Chain A
Amino acid sequence: MKCPRCVQRIHRAAPGCPHCGFSIADADGRFGGEELSLRLLTDSAGILRRGERERVEAAMERVSRRFPQLFVAVYTGALGEISNIRQFGFWLLNRSAFEDLPADKPNEAGILLTIDPESKAAGIVFGYLLDAFLDEADTFECLSRAHAYWLEERYADGLVRALGHLEGVLRKRSRQARRDPEHFQRKVVPPAMLGDLVRRIRAGHCNVSTQQPTVKEEVGK
């Protein structure tokens, strides 16, 4: 994954970005440290009309129905700079409590789509449950599908289109994970297991040295 501030690739389980030192504490300092209560569709920017809200909610609901573990949230608001939208999405999914979300669904299963109509930018953040299954390219494809609509300020159409593509990507990843779960597990395997692997290799070397005859033994024969 990449750091929300410097967009550099960072190590698994890193408590802070090794390049710029960013962590959730920095985001708290910028956006506030207290918990936030939101609805799954929060249109703070007021860019969705009534009929459009219903269409977007229906698209969100469809994703949740197809993927019972997951949920989709949409937030629209003015954030200032484009760089903020990554940090804001990261902070919002970690700090917010969604009122209309069933209690059995944690934020780890969430996909948050953030739109800033002032700076004309949008971004996607997802929880740890999808860490092995989604990557930056997947989310970029989803946003690309909506780009033409958002250029014309047809935000609802763009959202529906992006969620439709996201549904297709998730369906594909789900099938792949069912066929080969280890492939995805390797993406999130803890570093400690690498130590075990090194130990096994060394042990193997030791076993080989005890079983095979030395050069002197060969000569003596």
Chain B
Amino acid sequence: MMFRRAVLLFCAGAGIAAAVEPALPGWDDGERDALESQGWVAGGILLTDEPPPEATATAEPAAPIEMAQPTAAETAGEETPPDEIPEKFWPAYFGERPKNFLVDPQGLLSPADHRDRLGFLNYHAGDSMIDLYVYVFKGEQEIPGEVREEELVERFFSQGRPAAVVYYYMSAPQRSVLYLSPSLTDTVSAAEQRRALESSVMQAFKDVDPARQIEGFLVQMSIRIYWMERMLGGASSPEAAMPVMVRRPKAPDIPAVPLEKYRPFLDDLRRFVMPAALIAPLALAALAAGFWQRRRARHLFPEFDVEPRLGGAHAAGVGAVISFASATLPPASQRDQVPDYLRRA
């Protein structure tokens, strides 16, 4: 009973002690200044003179920033109208079959770039059976809704040489579109077209300059068109035919040997060339004749009078006998031919 009371008194005392929080430590007079005069206070970055949060909570809230309210059109989700191709360029783009391989009526390429790209496309046309036509647009431009690209390609490029038509967007090669003339669409699969376009776009993105981008794009597209040509001839796709390793190993540098150093030796050698050229075929012919004669050779044995043995009229020459009953009994162990009654069982 006494023990229970003692326990209860102890628990009550401990609860009262826990309810009273100890006071936070504070600076004594001049203690902080003395420490700061030494240049560094341990834990100084944690110490702050700002008032506790309860003090700021009582401060007045900041005035709301005045912002323009969204318009009705914006709240309806309408986007900015796309940058359409000016109508004056429509005939040049979509009115007829292009006269050359590079169609840029808006002058998006500089004259030098235009000349270089056109020169490359002409070179490609001379080297390939598939022409490459490129329409150049601004990066954000949209094809007018009235124009149907597939129908245009079918109308303009169904006659003449097979052609690949690319709608290229400057600074935005990822928007490029590839169309093939009707004579190619049956042979070149859509997957192959997609791969060609993707690899060309990847090549374009290796540079940030728009002019260099279109250059890389066209070079890669020309390579892919070469593989399309191979497919027309029955070859497999470049992914299957090309090796995985693209980087070509550098050939070891072999120091050039001056030929003059060996000139006397070569002069001596030249004197033996003619006799060797005459003798070598003769030697070869002799070897071949010898081989042929050896193969056709007939071998004869002298015939001796042999007295019959064991009553055999024709033969008594009993040769060897070999057993192949077991691999553990090799021929070497059977060399000594003994009668069977002497052979171990």
Contact = CB atoms under 8 A, between A and B. Distances in A.
A44 interface: no
A130 B301 contact: yes
Interface in A112-162: 112, 119-140, 143-144, 147, 150-151
Given A16-B311, A140-B335, A119 B325 contact: yes
B340 A83 contact: yes
B314 A110 contact: yes
B316 interface: yes
A38 interface: no
Contacts of A137: 320
Contacts of A32: none
A204 B183 CA distance: 114
B329 to A, nearest CB: 9
A67 B311 contact: no
Contact of B331 (A124, A140, A178, A181): A140
B312 A66 contact: no
Nearest to A85: B321
Classify the interface of chain B: helix, strand, loop or mixed: loop
Contacts of B337: 2, 7, 136, 140
Contacts of A12: 307, 309
B70 interface: no
A177 B301 contact: yes
Given A2-B318, A90-B318, A147-B331, A7 B338 contact: yes
A69 B327 CA distance: 37
B322 A123 contact: yes
A31 B324 CA distance: 24
Contacts of B316: 1, 90, 128, 131
Interface of B: 297-325, 327, 330-331, 334-335, 337-340
Q: Which 5 A-B pairs have the closest CB atoms?
A: A139-B319, A140-B320, A107-B314, A24-B311, A174-B299
Interface of A: 1-8, 10, 12-17, 22-25, 65-70, 81-83, 85-86, 89-90, 93-94, 106-108, 110, 112, 119-140, 143-144, 147, 150-151, 170-171, 173-175, 177-178, 181, 184-185, 188, 190
